[in-house]
Amino acid sequence: MIIAGLLVIFLVVLIGPFVNKRIESNLEAFLFFMGVVSATLSNAWRSEVIHEGFIAPINITLAVLGAGVVFHYVRKYIDHIMRRVLVTVPLAVIVCVGIVILGLLSSIISAIIAALLLVEFITVLPLHRQAEVKLTIIACFAIGLGAALTPLGEPLSTIVVSKLSGEPYHASFYYLFHLLAGYVVPAVVVLGLFGTFVVQKKPEDTAESLAAEEEKEKLRDVFIRAGKIYIFVMALIFLGAGFKPLIDTYLLKLSSQVLFWVNMVSAILDNATLAAAEIGPSLSTAQIKSALLGLLISGGMLIPGNIPNIIAAHALHIKSTEWAKLGIPLGLIIMTGTAVLLWFGLL
């Protein structure tokens, strides 16, 4: 009965934002409500879950708030510098290099800071909305992948290194880099190159740009956005706790190839929670690699899938339907290519 109810909740969370405009416009409140419902159904309201739900989002929220306030006051200077650069450097080159640098640097400065830098990067580029949305999605895929290369990048990588620090892997700071770099680094570079194809202005595209919207942002909007991020992260924690019976019953018993594809649930669930449930020293290296790559790639497919997606989508007013139009097909293409490489053991 509990499993059936969780499956229904999963479908509602997956489909709701695409069929109801009010849900799409209030995604954080919707996910928070569904997280409470799923945790209640699973009887997951333990003190540690409540504590994590209220405490864990604080650091992310403070980072978003602090950087948002700083960028609010220095944006005009960044805009001035970028416009001078655009005079001498082709836009396509700036976009490609920007995506690759943000993607790889996220493993050092964290996915959160990289996403905030991405928002500022997008707002100063001379693009229309359609190109800006596509560029944001592509860059968030790169950030989500690159951040996993070190424990500094995101919670998922921190958790995995901690869980594998003992026998038999003795995972150190560079463990994930050695395990995943052969897949992640080429993928980030390809995403950078792909980004150059969407930066050209289209004469028929007259929609107001995300940059124009962002320039109108008031300081109070920075605080409102930070509050929404707090609720969003809390909602994902409660959803992860609520779905734990479903994860324990089905996901943990799958082979590495199947787990790779099933981990597409990371598109709407916190990938750190899934990694904590799935990854352990009893798994083989192939299983660990498949599980992690499935989580990391699919995390870019929908807005709730990764923290950079959430930050960028909120800051740039990108809707769930807009994200999915590119995020899902792009994610499936990357998943398919990676699955082939994993199957033949080419990397």
List pLDDT tens digits, range 121-147: 998 888 889 999 999 999 999 999 999
Among 71-85, 181-195, 243-257, the least confident range: 243-257
pLDDT at 204: 46
- Give whichever of 42-51, 199-208, 255-264 has the largest mean pLDDT: 42-51
- Predicted pLDDT of residue 97: 95
* Mean pLDDT along residues 24-30: 87
Residue 306, token pair as written in the block: 């990764």
For 38-53, what is each residue's pLDDT tens digit?
999 999 999 999 998 9
Q: Which of 141, 246, 146, 120 is nearest to 194 (CA)?
A: 141
Per-residue pLDDT at 215 exceeds 60: no
Task: Tell me which of 264 and 217 has the higher pLDDT.
Answer: 264
| Own/partner pairs, 29-34, CB within 8 angstroms, 24+ separation | 29/231, 31/232, 31/235, 31/236, 31/239, 31/304, 32/231, 32/232, 32/234, 32/235, 32/238, 34/9, 34/235, 34/239
Half-sphere exposure of 99 (CA within 13 A, CB side): 32
Give 26 or 270, the one with higher predicted confidence.
Answer: 26
pLDDT at 347: 56
pTM: 0.86
**Mean local confidence (pLDDT), 88-109:** 94
Of 249 and 230, which is predicted with more confidence? 230
Look-up of token digits 């709407």: 268
Nearest to 40 by CA among 241, 231, 268: 241
DSSP string spanning 136-165? HHHHHHHHHHHGGGSTTT-HHHHHHHHHTS
- Banded model confidence at residue 206, pLDDT cuts 50, 70, 90: very low
Check pLDDT > 60 for residue 107.
yes
Mean pLDDT of the chain, nearest integer: 87
pLDDT of 70 strictly over 60 = yes
Q: What is the pLDDT of residue 243?
A: 85
pLDDT in tens, 74-91: 878 877 888 888 888 899
pLDDT at 108 over 70: yes
pLDDT over threshold 80, residue 2: yes
Mean pLDDT on 252-262:
81
Residue 210 confidence class, pLDDT cut points 50, 70, 90: low
Cα angle 228, 225, 320; round to 5: 70
8 A C-beta contact, residue 272 and residue 154: yes
- How many residues are there in the chain? 347
Asked whether the predicted pLDDT for residue 194 surpasses 80, the reply is yes
Residue range 146-167: mean pLDDT, rounded: 89
Q: Where are the domains of the chain?
A: 57-200+208-233+246-344
Give the single-character DSSP code of 169: T
For residues 315 and 283, what is the distance between their CA atoms, to the nearest angstrom? 39
Nearest-10 Cα torsion for 155, 28, 141, 133: -150
∠ CA 16-217-322, rounded to 5°: 30
**Res 202: pLDDT:** 47
Q: DSSP readout, 10-29?
A: HHHHHHHHHH-HHHHHTHHH
